[in-house]
Structure 1
Amino acid sequence: MKFRSIRSRLILFMLLATTVPLLLSITITYIHTKETIKEQALEENRNLIYQGKVNLTNYLNSINQASLTLYTDANFLRNLRKIPDDYRAVAEVYTSLQNILNTVHGIERIYLHATQSGQSTLVTPAIYPKREYRTEPYISTQGYEKYTTAIEPTHKSHDYGFPPSPTSYSDKMVFTFHRSITNVPSEKVLALLAIDVSLDSVADITEQLFNKDKEQLLVVDQGGTVVYSGRDSQLGTQITDKELLARIKGTQTEGFFESGGAMNVFEKMQTPYTEWTMIKRIPNSTLYERARQLTQINAAIAVIALGIIIFGTLFISIRITEPIKKLTSYMNRIQSGQLDVDISWNRQDETGIMFTRFRQMMDTINNLILREYRLELANKTNQLKALQAQINPHFLYNTLQSIGTLALQNNVPRIYALLSSLAKIMRYSMRNNDVLVTLRDEADHVRLYLELQKERFGDQLVYTLDLAPDTLDKPMPKMILQPLIENYFKHGMDHEGRQGMVRIESHMRKDGVLQIVIENNGSRIEPEKLATLKEQLAGRRNGELEDEWAGDNGEIGVRNVLLRLQLYTPHDVGMRIENLEPYGVRISLEIDTEDMQDMHTGENKTAEARTGAGPGEVHTEEN
């Protein structure tokens, strides 16, 4: 299908008119849905993170409040100074620590180191308390004396230097709540308290805030250490995301940002003892999953609709353009010479009216052209056949053969050669069944004619045939070149002065047109007569086939050549006549032989067999 055809343009226009708005609609819907889902998800997750922050803050405050109960026990501070000698005081300290352990869910162990007595105590839910004398508190609690309260980031659980028990879980991850116990109102530190808190309690609070399979939730301290994560491999590690670290250490308390192909919603927990940041990471694949599902549904609907549209477009375009293609086919057949084409179209719409009018027009053309000009051609053909029939070809050929034999007997071969040439010329001209011949046949006929003329004029005549090899097998109407050359001998040749010259050349142009040029050095055509001749030739080329042709016999010969070329050639034929400097005439013929090749295939093979020249043989002669 050619792009410039009406059908292809109509299909392209209808497809663009339907698919472009459809694709734009899907794209705009997808973008709008993404933004809407993003806004909804952002609002929902902000509320979730805020609620999670409140719950986690309350949980940490409960631990803080539980540790403050030591100050409400009036005997606790006194007991710190009595141990380890007073066993009753030791028991009361243990009871106070046991109360804290049982008050808040999720506490794994409590470690207490009395600075004055050097007594370290470890309390766990599963075993009896452990005690021993130490000059210094356990290393992990050192450095927290200067803080009233502080939280140590997530780390592996340990027994604070006590021998491990069967219930110890060294691989369990905990965070530690540190408190220094002072002798209020003084700032003297009486003891260091460390409360290990299991992450299970944090998980109970945070697991309701995110989907473990698709989302991620982090609790990070102000130093960038992961306190809690849904992925165990991240617990206690350092955050490397620069954007995330900037948000943690920044002054903004809540908000969101996009990083690493995910939307991050964060909320800071600001308490007197720590500043944690709760971050929820929602990958774009999860965030826009509903948008993709909706887009996939729309795309599926669009594909179905597009299939229906394409089918409808093709059906409509074919229905519209089929009459045009049909009419074009009829025109091509008429152009090739089939003027009696049966034009039929059974529709009752505008195309039916068009075909009816076209059929009526062709009927008129057949009546005006086929009847008149084919009848005229038939009459001229009948006249020619009648003249040819007056001479018995067999009698003439036999007579010439007898004269030739007599010439050979009398040792005059030149006369025999001339008679043979004359016989071939007559045989060629009387082949009535050959409408089209090859350029090779026509050139051979002209050569024989020129040989006879050369016998007449001797050295006063030279001729040259310069025919391109690829033109020899091209078809053309019979008896075209000889009448044009004959005009030279009748009207142009100088019989008393300079030597006569005739030159014929041919070549194929790139557009498939056979060009034949005939030049002579005879007398030039008078300017007025040449102008009139060119005007009449232009009228012939434009289809003005009037019966009257002003001029002498030479011009009538040119007219007949052009008329026969137009009658037998399916495409355009051009003829140009011009004077040469300082003397001479050039006649140029341009014949489009594209469709004539198929018409002449059989005759071409016959011509090759008759002349003995192959299709690739160079045909160049000079005499």
Structure 2
Amino acid sequence: MKFRSIRFRLSAFMLAAVAIPLLLSMTITFLVTKQSLREQTTGENERLIFQGAANLENYLQSVNKASIAVYKDPHFLTNLTRIPNDYRAAAELYTSLDTIRNTVPGIVSVYMHSYEAGQSTLVTGSAPKRGQREHSYTEDVPYRSNALYIEASHPVHLYGFSSPGPAYGKDAKVFTLHRSIQNIPSPRRLADLSIDVSLDTVRSICGELYQGGSEQLYLLDATGVVIYSSNETLIGQKLENPDLISGINGEQKQGYFEADEAMHVYRKLNAELSGWTLVKQIPYETLYARATRLTEINAGITGAALSVAIIGTLLISIRITQPIRQLLRYMEKIQAGQLDVDIQVTSRDEIGMVFRRFRRMMDTVNNLILREYRLELANKTNQLKALQAQINPHFLYNTLQSIGTLALQHEVPRIYSLLSSLSRIMRYSMKESTLVHLKDEAEHIRMYLDLQKERFDDQFDVIFDWEPGVLEEQVPKMILQPIVENYFKHGMDARLGRTLLRISGTRPAPGRLRLMIENTGLSIPHDRLEQLRSLLSCKPDAAVPEELAAPDESVGLRNVLLRVRLHSGEAGRMDITNIEPHGVRVILDIKTEERE
């Protein structure tokens, strides 16, 4: 009976349905990730090793070029036969060798033995050393056919000279470039040249190619001696790793192979120059670390999923009927007329979906009832506001007309003119339309300036300059007054005397209208001007930064720009500049309909 229960069957099915796909997914993910990491790491390291090998070849080539610089000196070969008796020749040879030492960074010392004169010379950072010898200290160096040989890393020595030697440290290691100097085209060997190069440059190049602690790097010569290694104790020793040596001894110049539980990526340098090989060893533990980590995460997810499946199955089997009974109790309350029942949802299964859908349905019903009630209330409020809007302006216009009539009766026509201008300004500002003809906007600003003339009689002059036809273009309403108003608030100063306000309109291109408002009042301070420009560059729907928020003129200008952009889109622009010697220029660019 126990094995036939719904709880047992449901638990077994849920475990199988969850465990089998997760285990398969975890295995496939591990294999695919492992292969992907292998290909990705191999490709990345091949490119990295290629770049490192190229840098090493460039450095060795620079040392090689420094060694053959002696052939460019027309007196060098002649001076080899004139020393040691000719002190001038000895000085010139020292200068040539010291030039080689200073040509390339990292050169520790330069040694030369002249067979013609039987003299050896060592140039270091200190005073040069010379000595008469029958044989060269490097006579046993196995030179190649091209008279060039690079000796593997070894401790720095003095080439048979007594101390003090190179000020580089007696325990330091260097590699040496040996070259025989011949009387070209004759194969006769005139001298031997040896250049000791520190491993600092090689160490800096190779240090960028591996991760310390997890990866190994080897720079080997053709005999397997370590030129440089991430393990400093191996430098100068022959590498005892037959698998690695056999892996790089093939004919391929670059490639990779697997040995010693690691991936090896290698690149061979120019065989004619050094014959070195750069090898990077990446342990499997490092190579597949991400794949192993991903597998551990998947295993944890699998265990958690199985635990959740077991607990969920038990909860479903025990509580499957309880939510249904609770839903029936809610229905009974709603049926009794209690529409604001608080429907609690705890489960997330199909029954929980039924609960949520039922609660949404009741919320929708309640919202519809509330919406109808609020809509009716809003309609009544709007009707009341509309009546007030009709009454208040009507009363104000009648009052202004009465005052104007009284002014005419007392023979004060100027007061009547000003009241008429004020009345027309108010009528214009209360129009419901958002777009007007430019001539209406121009008439509005003319009446506004007429009122300002009454306040500032002799302090400013006004010039209107309209290109033919522009007054028929449609523009957003109330875009000129806020700009002109800023002139009276912030630009007018009695110390400047009589200033000029110029308002003009032109068509810079078909479908474009440019309005320019200039004044010769006070200029805007530089910091405030930059702040205004930053504010106007903000997007219309973006929040204004706290440091840009501000004074009234910026609010008015931003509102003008917003109205222009509502009409012209991103094509609408506002530009503010100072003019010399003082004054401000504001330019509005507005998109209009193209006309024939």
TM-score relative to the length of structure 2: 0.51
Equivalence for 1:120: 120
Aligned to 1:61: 61
Task: Tell me how far 1:151 sits from its aligned partner.
Answer: 0.5
3-state DSSP of counterpart to 1:41: helix
The answer on 1:296 being equivalent to 2:293 is no
Do the aligned partners of 1:151 and 1:274 also contact (CA within 8 Å) in 2? yes
For residue 382 of structure 2, what is the aligned residue in structure 1?
A: none
Deviations 1:546-600 (A, max 9, x none): xxxxxxxxxxxxxxxxxxxxxxxxxxxxxxxxxxxxxxxxxxxxxxxxxxxxxxx
Amino acid at match of 1:27: T
Please give the alpha-carbon distance, in whole angstroms, between the structure 1 residues aligned to 2:122 and 2:281.
Answer: 38
Question: Which position in structure 2 is the counterpart of 1:312?
Answer: 312
For residue 86 of structure 1, what is the aligned residue in structure 2? 86
Look up the SS of the partner of 2:201 in the other structure: helix
Q: Distance in 1 between matches of 2:3 and 2:74?
A: 100
2:259 maps to amino acid: S
3-state SS, counterpart of residue 309 of structure 1: helix
Name the structure 1 match of 2:286.
Answer: 286
Write out per-residue CA displacement over residues 246-269 of structure 1, whole angstroms, 9 at most, x where no aligned residue.
133221111111111211111111
Structure 2: distance between partners of 1:317 and 1:177: 83
Distance (Å, rounded) in 2 between the aligned partners of 1:3 and 1:268: 69
Distance 1:253 1:195, change over 3 A: same
Task: State the shift of 1:299 in Å.
Answer: 3.1
- Give the structure 1 partner of residue 546 of structure 2: none
Query: 1:164 deviation in Å?
Result: 2.2
Larger radius of gyration: 1
Residues of 2 paired with 1:274 and 1:254: CA distance?
A: 16
SS of 2:93's equivalent in the other structure is helix
Q: Could you say which residue in structure 2 is the equivalent of 1:148?
A: 147
Deviation string 1:252-304 (CA, Å, 9 cap, x unpaired) is 11111111121111111124232111111112222222223333333333332
Residues 1:100 and 2:100 are matched in the alignment: yes
Q: Distance in 2 between matches of 1:133 and 1:97?
A: 18
Give the partner amino acid of 1:104. V
Shift of 1:7: 5.8
Identity, % of aligned positions: 49
Query: Which AA in structure 2 matches 1:286?
Result: T
Give the secondary-structure state (helix, strand or coil) at the position aligned to 2:269: strand
Q: Is the 8 A contact 1:256 1:266 kept in 2?
A: yes
How far apart, CA to CA, are the structure 2 residues paired with 1:103 and 1:187?
Answer: 27
Partner SS, residue 247 of structure 2: helix
CA distance in 1, matches of 2:182, 2:231: 38
Counterpart of 1:115 in structure 2: which amino acid?
Answer: Y
Distance 1:92-1:4 versus aligned 2 partners, 3 A rule: farther
Q: In the aligned structure 2, how far is the partner of 1:254 from the partner of 1:66?
A: 28
CA contact (8 A) 2:138 2:192 kept: no
Letter in 1 for 2:104: V
> Corresponding residue for 1:138?
137
Aligned partner of 2:149: which letter? Answer: A
| 1:494-573 equivalent positions in 2, closer than 5 A | none
Partner amino acid, structure 2, of 1:70: V
Please say if 1:72 is aligned against 2:72.
yes
- The answer to whether the 8 Å contact 1:145/1:189 transfers is no
Amino acid at match of 1:153: A
Q: Is the 8 A contact 1:153 1:226 kept in 2?
A: yes
Code of the residue aligned with 1:135 in structure 2: it is E
CA distance in 1, matches of 2:158, 2:204: 25
**How much has 1:13 moved relative to structure 2?**
4.1
Partner Cα separation in structure 2 for residue 76 and residue 5 of structure 1: 104
1:159 aligns with 158
Distance 1:253 1:73 in 2: 37
**In 2 relative to 1, CA 279–142 (structure 1 residues): closer, same or farther, beyond 3 Å?**
closer
Partner of 1:232: 232
Equivalent residue for 1:219?
A: 219
Structure-to-structure mapping, 1:247-258, within 5 angstroms? 247-258=247-258
The answer to whether the 8 Å contact 2:7/2:313 transfers is no
How far is 1:202 from its partner? 0.5
Evaluate the alpha carbon distance shift between residue 319 and residue 187 of structure 1 in structure 2; reply closer, same or farther with a 3 A threshold.
same
For 2:355, the equivalent position in structure 1 comes to: none
Q: Distance in 2 between matches of 1:188 and 1:5?
A: 103
CA distance in 2, matches of 1:168, 1:62: 21
Mapped partners of 1:164, 1:140: distance in 2 = 22
Equivalent runs, 1:413-492 vs 2, <5 Å = none
Q: Is the 8 A contact 1:145 1:180 kept in 2?
A: no
Q: CA 1:145–1:223 in structure 2 vs 1: closer, same or farther (change >3 Å)?
A: closer
Deviation of 1:317 (Å): 6.3
- Contact residue 221 and residue 276 of structure 1 kept, 8 A: yes
Tell me what 2:488 maps to. Answer: none
Aligned-partner residue type, residue 144 of structure 1:
Y
Cα pair distance change 1:160/1:145, threshold 3 Å: farther
Amino acid at match of 1:274: S
- CA distance in 2 between partners of 1:265 and 1:3 (Å): 58
Change (3 A) 1:4 1:257: farther
Preserved CA contact (<8 Å) 2:3 2:9 = yes
Distance across 1 between alignment mates of 2:19 and 2:199: 56
CA distance in structure 2 between the partners assigned to 1:306 and 1:182 by the alignment: 81
Q: How does 1:364-443 map to 2 (within 5 A)?
A: none
Question: How many angstroms does 1:199 deviate by?
Answer: 0.7
Secondary structure of 1:74's aligned partner: coil
Unaligned runs of 5+ in 2: 321-596
Amino acid at match of 1:269: L
- Pairwise CA distance, 1:315: 4.1
1:6 to partner: Cα distance: 7.6
Contact 1:224 1:248 in 2 (8 A): no
Task: Determine the structure 2 residue equivalent to 1:183.
Answer: 183
Give the Å deviation of 1:225: 1.0
Q: Distance in 2 between matches of 1:2 and 1:60?
A: 81
The superposition leaves residues 190-247 of structure 1 with CA deviations (integer Å, 9 ceiling, x where unpaired) of 0011111111111121211211232221111111111111110111122222221113
Quote the residue 2:170 is aligned against: 170
* Aligned CA distance change for structure 1 residues 145 and 229 (closer, same or farther; 3 Å): closer
| Residue-by-residue CA offset, 1:414-465 (whole Å, 9 max, x unaligned) | xxxxxxxxxxxxxxxxxxxxxxxxxxxxxxxxxxxxxxxxxxxxxxxxxxxx
For residues 313-336 of structure 1, the C-alpha deviation after alignment (integer angstroms, 9 at most, x for no partner) is: 34456789xxxxxxxxxxxxxxxx
Equivalent position amino acid for 2:29 in 1: T
Distance in structure 1 (CA, Å) of the matches to 2:171 and 2:317 = 75
Gaps of 5+ in 1: 321-623
Corresponding letter in the other structure for 1:128: A
Q: Does the CA contact (< 8 Å) of 2:149 and 2:179 recur in 1?
A: yes
Indicate how the Cα distance of structure 1 residues 145 and 292 shifts in structure 2: closer, same or farther if over 3 A, else same: closer
* Separation of aligned partners in 2, 1:142 and 1:36: 48
Question: Are residues 168 and 29 of structure 1, via their aligned partners in 2, closer, same or farther at CA, if it must alter by over 3 Å?
Answer: closer
Whole-Å separation in 1 of the counterparts to 2:310 and 2:148: 74
2:255 equivalent to 1:270: no
What residue in structure 2 maps to residue 601 of structure 1?
Answer: none
* CA–CA separation in structure 2 for the residues paired with 1:3 and 1:178: 87
User: Whole-Å Cα distance in 2 between the matches of residues 188 and 165 of structure 1?
Assistant: 34
- In structure 2, the CA distance between the partners of 1:15 and 1:140, relative to structure 1 (3 Å rule), is farther
Change (3 A) 1:104 1:3: farther
State whether structure 2 residue 21 is matched by structure 1 residue 21: yes
- Tell me: CA distance 1:310–1:140, structure 2 relative to 1, closer, same or farther (3 Å): farther
Indicate the SS of the match to 1:270: coil
Once residues 83 and 171 of structure 1 are traced to their aligned partners in structure 2, the CA distance between those partners, rounded to angstroms, is 33
Corresponding residue of 1:372: none
Letter in 2 for 1:148: A
Residues 108, 168 of structure 2: 8 Å contact kept: no
Q: Which whole-Å CA distance do the structure 1 matches of 2:133 and 2:236 have between them? A: 29
CA contact (8 A) 1:101 1:110 kept: yes
Q: When the two structures are superposed, what TM-score results if normalisation uses the length of structure 1?
A: 0.49
Return the alpha-carbon distance in structure 2 between the equivalents of residues 44 and 287 of structure 1.
12
* Alignment partners' CA distance in 2, 1:76 and 1:266: 41
SS of the equivalent of 1:295 reads helix
Contact 2:152 2:221 in 1 (8 A): yes
Does the C-alpha gap of structure 1 residues 246 and 3 become closer, same or farther in structure 2, counting only changes over 3 Å? farther
Write the distance in 2 (CA, Å) between the matches of 1:229 and 1:188: 38
The answer on whether the counterparts of 1:120 and 1:134 sit within 8 Å (CA) in structure 2 is: yes
How many residue pairs are counted as aligned between the two chains?
Answer: 319
Question: 1:275 is paired with a residue of what secondary structure?
Answer: coil
Q: Which whole-Å deviations, capped at 9, do the CAs of 1:22-67 have from their partners, x for residues lacking one?
A: 1211221122112212211111111111111111101111111111
Asked if the contact 2:214–2:282 (Cα under 8 Å) also holds between the matched residues in 1, the reply is yes
